């Protein structure tokens, strides 16, 4: 993405500006809290305490973060290739189908450590296939990926509703969900890690998927910055023309990037399905795919940033639940507003404060914004 603005030092670009954007998003959210008639500072304290105050809170925060790491990485991989994958939601939803097939078939015969790898493959595969069609249409038919992935979100939702109220629902049950998985498809909890630090945990769904998420973050970093494929993807993302000129196949790169993105989105489903609810229910993704957009933008498309942003959003989700408990006027939907504001200020308005910061830097140290080089040339 080329910006019509001059350079800033890296720490300002990757640290200061996102922080300012985030701060502005929270200030505006604070005004909404004020409008509702509550004290924003007290709300912030409750939120942070709810997320990090107790061991259980931390475990829940990390559980939500796991989900958002996957969706954030999914959005980021596509974005590096210049593609806006807004279909993470649908890819994750339909991947629940792959997991359901594996878990319902093997949960009574195999232990979790055999079911889990199969479920990983199934979820990634289904997610990738769901991303394949929009990718193909973008690459070969020129239909806009944003529109097709939105359409595919709705189609995925229709298919899942059809299956969950029909074929996948156990006979005699009213709830639109699969039967509960047996022990062979329940993932072990990771709460003991937090308990090592002396905290007490009542019951929290933090599970091994968290480690898988961290592994994927590392692999995505490896892919984007240390492999030929990643280089090609970034080239195409920066300039499709340059990529074409360099002999990179447009079709191949778009389809590969979208399938990786879809696979990451699909793996997200493992966390709530196998780690927490132990069944596939209607709308189990519940917007996590869209949170991924905020997480990816907040994390500046870098895995480290994404993990941090995912923890931040995990904190908002967990703390937000506590907040709704303490302040009845504020429900969990407050998070949706904050999410929207973060997307607005860290995404669409990311350059709003840039000129001011640039001017500030230029007045203190012209060298940091590259002005010296220009002067040198003139002399």
Partner 1 sequence: MDVFIAIVQILDSTIRLSVPLLLACLAGLFSERSGIFDIGLEGKMLVGAFAGAAAASVFHSAFIGLGMAILISVAFAMVHGFASITHRGNQIVSGVAINFIAAGSTIILGQAWFQQGGRTPALQPGERFDAIVWPGAEAVRDVPIIGPIYAELISGHSLLVYLAFLMVPFTWWVLFRTRFGLRLRAVGENPAAVDTAGISVAWLRYRALICTGILTGVAGAYLSMVQNGGFVKDMTAGKGYIALAALIFAKWKPVNAMFACLLFGFLDAAAIRLQGSPLPIIGKVPVQFMQALPYILTVILLAGFIGKAIPPRAGGVPYVKER
**Residues in touch with partner 1 (CB under 8 A):** 4, 32, 35-37, 84, 86, 133, 137, 141-144, 146-148, 150-152, 154-155, 158-159, 161-162, 166, 290, 293, 297, 329-331, 333-341, 343-344, 347-352
Shortest CA distance to 14 belongs to which of 314, 342, 306? Answer: 306
Query: Minimum CB separation from partner 1 for residue 160, in Å?
Result: 9
Q: Considering the complex, state which of residue 57 and residue 292 has its C-beta at the smaller distance from partner 1.
A: 292
Nearer to partner 1, 96 or 205 (CB): 96
Q: How far is the CB of 170 from partner 1 (least distance, A)?
A: 19
Angle at 192 between CA 186 and CA 198, to 5 degrees: 155
How many other CB atoms are found less than 10 A from the CB of residue 352? 14
Residues 6+ apart with CB under 8 A from 124: 95, 263, 264, 266, 267
Could you tell me the smallest distance in angstroms from the CB atom of residue 237 to partner 1?
13
* Nearest CA among 172, 203, 174, 177 for reference residue 190: 203
Task: With CA atoms as reference, report the closest residue to 79 among 302, 308, 348.
Answer: 302
Task: Output 6 or 146, the one with its CB closest to partner 1.
Answer: 146
Work out how close the CB of 86 gets to partner 1 at its nearest, in angstroms, rounded to a whole number.
7
CB of 161 to partner 1, least distance (A): 5
Provide the 3-class DSSP secondary structure of residue 16.
helix
d(CA 133, CA 123): 17
DSSP secondary structure letters along 296-338 = HHHTTT-HHHHHHHHHHHHHHHHHHHHHHHH-TT--THHHHHH
Residue 154 or 192: which CB sits closer to partner 1?
154
What Å distances lie between residue 236 and 30, 228, 244, 312, CA to CA? 40, 12, 8, 30
Residue nearer to partner 1 on the CB measure, 129 or 150 = 150
| Nearer to partner 1 among residue 35 and residue 196 (C-beta) | 35
Q: Least distance in Å: CB of 55 to partner 1? A: 29
The single-letter DSSP state of residue 281 is B
């Amino acid at each position: 993405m080329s910006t019509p603005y001059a350079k800033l030092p890296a720490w300002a670009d990757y640290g200061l500006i996102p922080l300012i954007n985030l701060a502005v998003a929270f200030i505006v959210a604070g005004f909404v809290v004020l409008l509702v008639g509550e004290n924003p500072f007290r709300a912030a304290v409750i939120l942070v305490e709810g997320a990090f105050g107790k061991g259980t809170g931390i475990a829940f925060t990390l559980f939500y973060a796991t989900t958002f790491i996957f969706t954030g990485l999914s959005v980021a991989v596509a974005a590096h290739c210049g593609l806006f994958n807004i279909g993470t939601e649908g890819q994750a939803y339909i991947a629940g189908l792959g997991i359901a097939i594996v878990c319902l078939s093997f949960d009574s015969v195999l232990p979790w450590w055999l079911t889990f790898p199969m479920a990983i493959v199934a979820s990634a595969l289904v997610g990738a296939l769901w991303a394949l069609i929009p990718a193909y249409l973008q690459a070969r038919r020129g239909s806009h990926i944003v529109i097709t992935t939105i359409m595919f979100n709705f189609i995925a939702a229709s298919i899942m509703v059809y299956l969950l109220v029909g074929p996948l629902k156990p006979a005699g049950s009213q709830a639109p969900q699969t039967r509960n998985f047996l022990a062979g498809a329940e993932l072990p909890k990771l709460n003991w890690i937090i308990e090592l630090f002396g905290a007490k945990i009542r019951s929290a769904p933090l599970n091994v998927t968290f480690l898988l998420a961290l592994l994927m973050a590392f692999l995505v970093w490896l892919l984007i910055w240390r492999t030929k494929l990643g280089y090609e993807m970034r080239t195409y993302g920066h300039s499709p023309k340059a990529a074409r000129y360099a002999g990179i196949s447009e079709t191949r790169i778009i389809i590969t990037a979208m399938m990786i993105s879809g696979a990451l989105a699909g793996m997200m489903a493992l966390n709530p399905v196998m780690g927490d609810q132990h069944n596939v229910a209607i709308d189990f993704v519940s917007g996590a795919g869209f949170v991924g957009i905020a997480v990816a933008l907040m994390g500046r498309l870098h895995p480290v940033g994404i993990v941090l942003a995912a923890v931040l959003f995990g904190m908002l989700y967990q703390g937000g639940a506590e907040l709704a408990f303490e302040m009845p006027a504020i429900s969990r939907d407050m998070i949706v507003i904050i999410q929207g504001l973060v997307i607005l200020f860290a995404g669409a308005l990311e350059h709003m404060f840039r000129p001011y910061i640039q001017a500030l830097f230029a007045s203190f140290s012209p060298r940091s914004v590259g002005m010296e080089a220009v002067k040198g040339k003139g002399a």
